[in-house]
């Protein structure tokens, strides 16, 4: 359901520093903008590195920027999902990801603040109403929305895999009482989990039997397309979801680029 991409949340007006500059240029730019790091560019927009306030901490102001900047970058693609960008930002500890096109040209930057902004919007019940409207159009039914508790062990998943690192975050949120509601479709004989697979698995690991949810109730006894999708994926319960370790996430290989001259 979540189709939000990096290009929808990144900052397009990026402050940069020139590769031919010095540490003093970075200091001046920090004072002027109050930012703590900048992509390093040459020929206006070709990214060759990144420099942060930490990189210049003990450097003399006259030190060439090329001697202190980082050349090994983790970058984002504008078409990458915001959730994947968030995973990289929070697991790598990097505050900002330069967003590059296929020519290594800078087109924007996405920060942890941008990701948080996207997630605040993510918790909005707007997607619930969109799903209800879709169900109404597809099946000619009148679904009813209510807020309530759902049985974790009876949920039918519609997603075949989740990620261990995000699961750890959801476990923390549940322990702190910060977890968002699930989105569940309830029809006769079925609790269908639409959104919140990481939260559901986190609850299961913690031994929690019930979770708060937006419940979309359907009185008609009809099989939904999402149920057929679950069957095609051999999903019958939460136990059928695969939990993938971050280290095996292909995104990491895709976003690590050795950026340098030449």
Would you state the pLDDT for residue 124?
57
Residues 170 and 85 in one domain: no
Is residue 255 in some structural domain? no
Q: Is residue 59 part of a domain?
A: yes
Closest CA relative to residue 249, chosen from 36, 91, 107, 22: 91
19 and 100 belong to one structural domain = yes
Q: Do the Cβ atoms of 79 and 55 come closer than 8 Å?
A: no
Is this model's pTM higher than 0.75 or not? no
Instruction: Report the pLDDT value the prediction gives residue 3, as an integer from 0 to 100.
Output: 65
Which tokens in the block code for residue 6?
């990096």
In which residue ranges of the chain is pLDDT below 70?
1-3, 117-125, 246-262
Domain residues for the domain of 43 are 6-119
Residue at 259 is within a domain: no
pLDDT at position 153 is 97
The token pair that represents 70 in the structure block: 């980082």
Q: Is the residue at 115 inside a domain?
A: yes
Helix (H, G, I), strand (E, B) or coil at 104: coil
- Of 232, 219, 165, 162, which is closest to residue 190 (Cα–Cα)? 219
**CB-based contact 194:143 (threshold 8 Å):** no
Look at residues 60, 49, 107, 43 and name the one whose alpha carbon lies nearest to residue 80. 107
Q: Of 67, 87, 119, which residue is a domain's last?
A: 119
The pLDDT value given to residue 210: 96
pLDDT at 61: 96
């Amino acid at each position: 359901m979540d189709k939000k991409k990096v290009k929808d949340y990144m900052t397009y007006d990026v402050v940069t520093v020139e590769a031919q500059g010095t540490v003093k240029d970075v200091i001046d730019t920090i004072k002027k903008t109050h930012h703590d790091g900048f992509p390093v560019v040459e020929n206006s927009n070709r990214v060759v590195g990144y420099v942060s306030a930490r990189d210049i901490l003990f450097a003399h102001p006259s030190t060439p920027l090329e001697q202190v900047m980082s050349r090994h970058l983790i970058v984002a693609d504008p078409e990458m999902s915001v959730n994947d960008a968030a995973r990289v930002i929070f697991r790598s500890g990097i505050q900002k990801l330069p967003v590059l096109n296929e020519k290594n040209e800078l087109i924007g930057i996405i920060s942890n603040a941008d990701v948080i902004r996207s997630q605040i919007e993510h918790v909005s019940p707007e997607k619930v109403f969109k799903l209800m409207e879709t169900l109404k159009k597809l099946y000619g039914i009148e679904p009813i929305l209510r807020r309530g508790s759902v049985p974790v062990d009876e949920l039918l998943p519609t997603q075949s895999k989740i990620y261990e690192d995000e699961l750890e975050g959801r476990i923390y949120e549940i322990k702190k009482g910060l977890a968002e509601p699930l989105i569940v479709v309830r029809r006769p004989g079925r609790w269908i989990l639409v959104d919140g697979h990481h939260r559901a698995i986190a609850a299961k690991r913690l031994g929690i039997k019930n979770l708060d949810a937006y419940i979309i109730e359907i009185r008609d006894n009809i099989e939904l397309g999402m149920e057929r999708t679950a069957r095609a994926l051999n999903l019958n319960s939460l136990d059928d979801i695969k939990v993938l370790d971050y280290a095996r996430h292909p995104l990491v290989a895709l976003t690590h680029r050795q950026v340098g001259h030449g």
